[in-house]
Structure 1
């Protein structure tokens, strides 16, 4: 239930506004939607949901010890990255490689000694990785490389900056076409998962060494008695930091690193079955960890893509591709459950197929706790447009609304699907010139408009 004190904010947000104030156009959704994956990824299964994929690629799989010569594409355990990434590329995926420090990271109590004096090796590793995997090489397997995942404040910052600088310089030497992506960061003081943009990436001489600012955002609820530290809300909830963190990063970028992209490389919600939930154990039982329903997971993922697009994000990657139906934090976040599609799979697939060629044009209405309406335009045929309308809540709310100022008569209106087959049609009726009435709920409704005569 949303507090009444937000009424004033609701009224302010009613004003239609341009979605993006910068010069660059927002990306089309086919170039915006991504998915986190791992070695067991099945590219043919997930290709209908997106074309961008991010892989957790551990340094300790490539070399047995820091200082050893990398032997790309073959790992120390004999895995051949050419085979792994080649299969993903064959299905049409563009790959972001997250070069995780793995057992060389802060989880190793001896990590400082492991990395001390290894700047030359870091440069070599970055150069050889970019040379082999990058888009200018013969294999053309990846287009971007992240330098670690979530080192946060647990990894000595001065040491990380030296590693980052050396590895980034090596990547630039190996293939200047590779986009260099920071580890996850935020425009606040560092925490256990994110570096501080000011402290780690704000130095003028470091700015040329990266192209993308990377963030992980989860819709965490504030601490409260009886609430677990892992519980999440809906994406538009003004009581949480979900969108605020994004806005702060974008503002930092605009002020201190203009021209760089902002990627959300992790966001998502856990949704396990009722049977699995009954089997919570350990701290997840003691602290009363809760998930969201399968339907809510689908709704919140789709709506997050919309919201991120309106807040000047350049890419967003869902966490995660698959889960084993485990009742624990980050263990039930898949689009599939044991490789069987969940409702979120069908919802995200529909979004990708329906709006893949469209980009955000403007925010039509944005009323906290009541109604969000966004307009999208086709990237190549501006006369084609789609409106998405939904209730920005998490309580099962639905309401009849009047949409005004439409670009024409809708050719069709359909609701976000949660199963295979045609999306459910939404009934509507005229309500005046360029206006209609329809019922919205927390699953977005899509209104498709053809070219004007």
Structure 2
């Protein structure tokens, strides 16, 4: 989504042809169907959005290893003119990118730079093919594996609303070609895409057809809105009535049919939670946020649900907020750089599942209980089950899960504050099942085989 901060800060086809020529009745999907790939390490999967000099590495290290930074391209031009590209790494406003990216990489973070050109009107780009190509090539040469080796991924745009479909395709194609020339190892992501013209922020994924060699990642932004303007009310992630997960699954299905093997990243999702009520007048005063507890629960459950889908990484929006009771004004894990309950729950999630990957759905009963199994990336060690009520009504219930085929040696609930998490009692039942009390905060069970 476009945010107040953003507005302030950023101003296969050849194979098919061969098959047809040979008289082989084979579809693109049959030709290119990839082998199932291993699920990602949750330590790499759990990502966070940030913005340049505002990010505090020591504060956010407990919650993520994967950063997505909003990189304003306008800073890299003189006079806001794309033909006047500056030499990296110092921007026209005297930000040294290596002071940021270099430090973040040294401290163990991977970096996805969302290269944003949308703060500049399209008419500023007098020669999109030439200037976009030059930017992509120089960016990749400097920050990529053959240069400073600090940026893993570049996104060609975030939410380029001002640019038409044709303008964006030209921008993407030429910048991506430049990146491929500058560093073939640098991953390339699209801007936010959706099926059709789903909203004003995303581009129709169909405009990427024919450009498959130029991207590695399809990028999705999804928010759990149950209502739009003016309330922007958000529901719980598993709510079957909203488009939250459906929008992501739609891009996964499109990928499987049209671009097998490409990654899918959810690079924006989140919930607002403010301690204040809106003081705005008129329609803007009707904004509805979530509680701190709801935010914490829904963020963690989203990471879990995404991990069970064919999603390769998820970046939460946002890292810090100023407690503003407005759309995207209170989405942070911290409030004035002080941890919120969601900070503690996300830190616990990372600590619990780093070094693990999603294995299977043990139970998935909508409105009742979800239980997901995670296994060690190394292949040895305890398995972990995450169990929760997939609801948004503060529901509590006693549930019986199937036999874990091992002994539950530890059980604890997602914390909402600093300190030791709450211990949870489990009971073995006849036939090998396990009984426990669940609520809307995930409980984690360590199972020893």
TM-score, scaled relative to structure 2: 0.89
Do residues 35 (structure 1) and 37 (structure 2) align?
no
For residue 269 of structure 1, the aligned residue among 268, 271, 277 is 271
1:5 aligned residue:
none
For residue 175 of structure 1, the aligned residue among 151, 170, 183 is 183
Deviations 1:145-196 (A, max 9, x none): 00110014x4111121111111101001111111000000012235310001
1:248 aligned residue:
250
Query: Which secondary structure does the structure 2 equivalent of 1:353 belong to?
Result: helix
Do residues 184 (structure 1) and 199 (structure 2) align?
no
1:384 aligned residue:
382
Q: CA deviation at 1:284?
A: 6.1
1:163 aligned residue:
171
Whether the aligned pair in 2 keeps the contact of 1:67 and 1:118 (CA below 8 Å) is: no
Whether the aligned pair in 1 keeps the contact of 2:395 and 2:439 (CA below 8 Å) is: yes
1:61 aligned residue:
75
Query: Which secondary structure does the structure 1 equivalent of 2:242 belong to?
Result: coil
- Alpha-carbon separation, structure 2, partners of 1:338 and 1:57: 22
- What does 1:197-346 align with in structure 2 at a 5 Å threshold? 197-198=205-206, 200-202=207-209, 204=210, 206-222=211-227, 228-273=230-275, 276-277=276-277, 279-282=278-281, 285-286=284-285, 288-346=286-344
Q: CA deviation at 1:229?
A: 4.3
Whether the aligned pair in 2 keeps the contact of 1:222 and 1:240 (CA below 8 Å) is: no
- Alpha-carbon separation, structure 2, partners of 1:136 and 1:305: 33
Aligned-pair Cα RMSD in Å: 1.5
Deviations 1:356-397 (A, max 9, x none): 111110011111111111111111034521111100001100
- Alpha-carbon separation, structure 2, partners of 1:193 and 1:398: 37
Query: Which secondary structure does the structure 1 equivalent of 2:234 belong to?
Result: coil
Do residues 134 (structure 1) and 144 (structure 2) align?
yes
- Alpha-carbon separation, structure 2, partners of 1:282 and 1:44: 39
TM-score, scaled relative to structure 1: 0.88
Q: CA deviation at 1:283?
A: 5.1
- Alpha-carbon separation, structure 1, partners of 2:204 and 2:284: 33
Query: Which secondary structure does the structure 2 equivalent of 1:262 belong to?
Result: strand
Query: Which secondary structure does the structure 2 equivalent of 1:49 belong to?
Result: coil
Moved over 6 A (4+): none
- Alpha-carbon separation, structure 2, partners of 1:22 and 1:382: 24
Whether the aligned pair in 1 keeps the contact of 2:75 and 2:93 (CA below 8 Å) is: yes
Gaps of 5+ in 1: 1-20
- Alpha-carbon separation, structure 1, partners of 2:178 and 2:325: 42
1:144 aligned residue:
153
Whether the aligned pair in 2 keeps the contact of 1:284 and 1:328 (CA below 8 Å) is: no
Deviates more, 1:376-385 or 1:357-366: 376-385
Q: CA deviation at 1:117?
A: 2.4
For residue 114 of structure 1, the aligned residue among 115, 124, 130 is 124
Do residues 46 (structure 1) and 60 (structure 2) align?
yes
- Alpha-carbon separation, structure 1, partners of 2:237 and 2:323: 23
Do residues 73 (structure 1) and 71 (structure 2) align?
no
- Alpha-carbon separation, structure 2, partners of 1:317 and 1:98: 12
How many pairs does the alignment contain? 413
Whether the aligned pair in 1 keeps the contact of 2:230 and 2:284 (CA below 8 Å) is: no
For residue 100 of structure 2, the aligned residue among 59, 67, 84 is 84
Deviates more, 1:381-390 or 1:235-244: 381-390
Structure with larger RCO (C-alpha < 8 A, sep 6+) = 1
Whether the aligned pair in 1 keeps the contact of 2:403 and 2:434 (CA below 8 Å) is: no
- Alpha-carbon separation, structure 1, partners of 2:91 and 2:227: 42
- Alpha-carbon separation, structure 1, partners of 2:281 and 2:129: 41
1:6 aligned residue:
none
